[in-house]
Amino acid sequence: MEDNKNNITLRNITTEIENSFLDYSMSVIVSRALPDVRDGLKPVHRRILYAFNELGLTYDKPYRKSAAVVGEVMAKYHPHGDSATYGTIVRLAQDFNSRYPLVDGQGNFGSIDGDGAAAMRYTEARMSKIASEMLRDINKNTVDMQDNYDGTKKEPKVLPAKIPNLLVNGSSGIAVGMATNIPPHNLGEVIDGIVALSDNPDISIAELMTKIKGPDFPTGAYLLGRSGIVKAYNTGRGSIIMRGKTAIEQMKNGKERIVITEIPYQVNKAKLVEKIAELARDKKIEGVTDLRDESSLKGIRIVIELRRDVNSNVILNNLYKLTPLQSSFGVNMIALVNGVPKLLNLKEALYHYLEHQKEVVVRRTKFDLKKAQDRAHILEGLRIALDNIDKIISLIRGSKTTEEAKTGLIKQFDLSDIQAQAILDMRLQRLTGLEREKIEDEYSKLMNLIKDLQDILNKEDRVREIVKTELLEIKEKYGDSRRSVIIEGQVDTIENEDLIEKEQIIITLSHNQYIKRLAASTYKSQGRGGRGVNGMTTNDEDNIAYMLSCSTHDHILFFTDKGKVYTLKGYEVNQMSRQSKGIPIINLLEIEKEEKVNSIIAISDLQEVGTNLIFSTKFGIIKKSKLGDYASILKKGKIALKLDDGDSLIDVQRITDEQDIMIVTANGQAIRINAEKVRTMGRVSRGVKGITLGLDDYVIGMEVVDETKKILTVTENGIGKISKSTEFNVINRGGKGVKVAKVTKKTGKIVAVKSIAGNEDLMVMTNQGVIIRIDISTISTLGRTATGVKVINLVDDQKVATVTLAEKEENYEEE
């Protein structure tokens, strides 16, 4: 116990932790996580390849069990876990991880779906053909060797690496306080870049990029733009956007499908498919009817079948935004230079590799030169022996021992120890004339070789040319075409709207809150009094409440009876057939159960200067607010105005202060008010009285009017009438107003009012889903108190539900 006490050294714990962590950090940085700039390998990769080479498992030899290789690596070079070592071998063999795999595996080595490799006892491996180039000439003293972990073996500090592996296969690793992430590149392009640098040491990175276009990932896919590549190559850091290769295909049934044939680097295919399925299930991507992974040995093929009514380009754009189908690769080109971590740009990475290759050629040349000189030295001794063969035979016969003979040869003929030994070892058959000739020929060739090798060592240009020649031979032997296609130009985020054709559409909403979109051309014009065509499938409990003519790119503001506002783009409303009932609006908007949308307006620019929104309620309250107050509408909606108990929002219109509004009631009263006389109020304000209502009367609508416009009213029994707006004088708000139309039991109450120019088409929809489109000029202009004319023939229990205006249709269909 006393002896142990004498061995204890007291240290400050802070100092000890600092020193220990520093040692650990440097060990991780230098010995584990970061690759050497010269061969692009981390120690574990280098040891695995060296072990393959020492075991003779080259590409032309039979495979051997992976377990045997793992055991060899662990026992002699890498004293770490077997699973980590095997995992490294597996990754070196995966063609979706390595651009040029360094291990040739046989058996299950995992898949791009994230499936793990089979146990090492089942798989077999050997070096790939290209990996043999990494170790070429390693036995010619081309690299420094060092003791292994227990001092019983030697291992290389770096490999000769005839392949520019750092850029060709890339590397990634997390050290302490730093990380590296280098993308793979095309072998031919990288070699072209190295050759260009060798020819012109002052070459710019921009010029190098004419040779090395950008990363070339094993999984292919597209690289979007060059800005990220340029930044990465100039600074060593940058972000490169990768996008899967896709195509939109037409199916026999008229539907379309999206087919994915290439995915971004390091994206798990199975997880990508799962993500797409999740988005479709959660309705974050609408319109997916089937999803299949049809991938095989021929390649990747993910099929996404779509509904007829969806825009395939919009779905694809959302896949880019919401799934790893579009991903980024963060470049961080850190590697060890002379054992020190350094952030490298493209030129620096190529320079250090080029210098390494020059050193390899010089050291190999020195090795070959020494070998040639040693052999020439022996041949010189043999020549001397042949010239003095009788004396030498006599000397050897007269010697009692081999040592005496050797000493005599050295002394008498001025030979070296090696030359004397070679003479003693010479067989008698070498005394023939033919053998003498062979010795002379070999000696002559060796002297020429020695001269050539010495010339290489004396001329740097020759070293550079040898490096270039050998690299170009590698390119010729292993080079292949680029897999990742670079899409030129600035990369901007593509919005769904950019993919939607701008066209006129009709949006309808039923009383039961079913909504749909149709092309405006769906409904052809008919003569006044026609019976119309079916616009949607309804039932006895549902009918059309609102119909809006707008553009696919317009902002559609949905106002509810509870005074809230929601927004969609026109194209976001599902396009359906004319007879379809639509989809529940709650599938598109997060409205509450008690809410009902009862006013819809379309606006092209929500920031339009000088434009206001004016609101009217069932109780005759009006409010004017700035349009910009409604520009940023959350998905959950916003309060549009404050309502009294029992009141509800009836209509909302866009207006300027130069315009007038006309409020119309169900019993045929109307009041015209100048918008400037209504003060602008905040978004959540209540508003002021617009019209005083009679008994059992209520507001049914509001329109913006001016002297050029006329007023159209339509009753529930299909009676329509046009009046001149000049018949209605502007008065102060709050009055009872004047008659706009004569309301009787025959006409029924007024259900709609529209401000018209007179050159539009009128679309009338019934509560049973029948729609008629008529030229509005066929409706008579009558006095303010007149009854009007029939605009639609109603049958059975049909009632007019709503009307809307549309651009004039040139074609007419008479019934």
Q: Which residues are catalytic?
A: 122
- Cβ(596)–Cβ(660) below 8 Å: no
Phi/psi at 272 (nearest 5 deg)? Answer: -60, -45
Residue for token pair 């949905």: 558
CA atoms within 13 A of residue 59's CA, in its CB half-sphere:
14
Query: Which H/E stretch holds residue 603?
Result: strand 597-603
Task: Report d(CA 707, CA 43) in Å as an integer.
Answer: 86
The whole-angstrom separation of Cα 728 and Cα 711 is 10
536 with 529: CB under 8 angstroms?
no
For tokens 């617009």, what's the residue?
Answer: 690
DSSP string over 303-338: EEEE-TTS-HHHHHHHHHHHSTTEEEEEEE-EEEET
Ramachandran region of residue 362, left (φ > 0), alpha (ψ -120 to 50) or beta?
Answer: alpha
CA angle 355, 357, 363 (to 5 degrees): 105
**Among candidate residues 736, 729, 705, 710, the one with its CA nearest the CA of residue 721:** 710
Structure tokens at 447: 């002297």
Cα–Cα distance for residue pair 660/675, rounded to 1 Å: 5
- Say which residue the tokens 């061969």 belong to: 39
Residues 43, 78: Cα–Cα separation, whole Å: 8
Structure tokens at 70: 């793992």
The answer to whether the CB of 38 falls within 8 A of the CB of 161 is: yes
Q: Which residues pair with 319 in a beta bridge?
A: none
Main-chain dihedrals φ then ψ at residue 169, nearest 5 degrees = -105, -10
Q: 3-state secondary structure string, 97-138?
A: CCCCCCEEEECCCCCCCCCCCCCCCCCEEEECCHHHHHCCCH
- Taken as a whole, the chain contains a residue count of 815
Q: Give every CB contact of residue 287 below 8 A, 6+ residues apart in sequence.
A: 306, 307, 309, 310, 315
CA torsion angle for 486, 489, 495, 499 (degrees, to 10)?
Answer: -80
Q: What's CA 237's distance to the chain center, in Å?
A: 18
Q: Kindly report the backbone phi and psi dihedral angles of residue 813, in degrees, each rounded to the nearest multiple of 5, phi listed first.
A: -125, 115
Residues 40 and 328: their CA atoms lie apart, in Å, by 22
